Amino acid sequence: MKIRLLLAIAALWANGASAFNPADVEKLRNTGSCPKCDLSQFQFPDKANLRFAVLTGADLTGANLTNANLVIARLNGADIINVNLASADLTGANLSGSNLSGSNLTAARLVGAILTGTNLSGSNLTAARLAGANLGNSNLTAANLRDADLFNANFSEANLTDTNLTHANLTGAILTNARGLKRF
């Protein structure tokens, strides 16, 4: 686990990324957590590279992960509260049991992500891509999924109370026993 995290952090430094704070990277490397850290990368296409990172149970509360590359990262059970993940790539990431309440996931890519039992209450997922994602038994109370791509996403037993699904693509979405779903 620590080796994968060290490799991900080494990749951050090797990319010459300058948007994040080096002290924050060191803190993440030493503790596996980094609340209020700046791990963002704004120089496209060089995203902050945390591919395959193992951050199970990490505390990233209030962190800035804008444009971060978290493809196939393991963030299950993590505290990702009020985090900026705008335009982040979380394709295939495991976020099961994580708390992402109040987070900004605008235009984030969560294709095939595992979000079972995740708390996304109050999160902004406007124009996010969640095709094939598993959101079974998740809490999406008051989440904003406007214009989101939810093609073949699984919302079985999810709480969708006051969730904004305006113009969302729900083609093939599984809504079995979803609670609070308004018919529109």
Residue range 26-56, pLDDT digits in tens: 787 788 888 999 888 643 445 567 888 899 9
Q: What is the pLDDT of residue 80?
A: 97
131-137-143 Cα angle (round to 5): 65
Q: What's this model's pTM, rounded to 2 decimal places?
A: 0.85
Distance CA(78)–CA(32), nearest Å, equals 10
Distance CA(71)–CA(93), nearest Å, equals 6
pLDDT at position 9 over 80: no
At 141, is the pLDDT very low, low, confident or very high (cuts 50, 70, 90)? very high
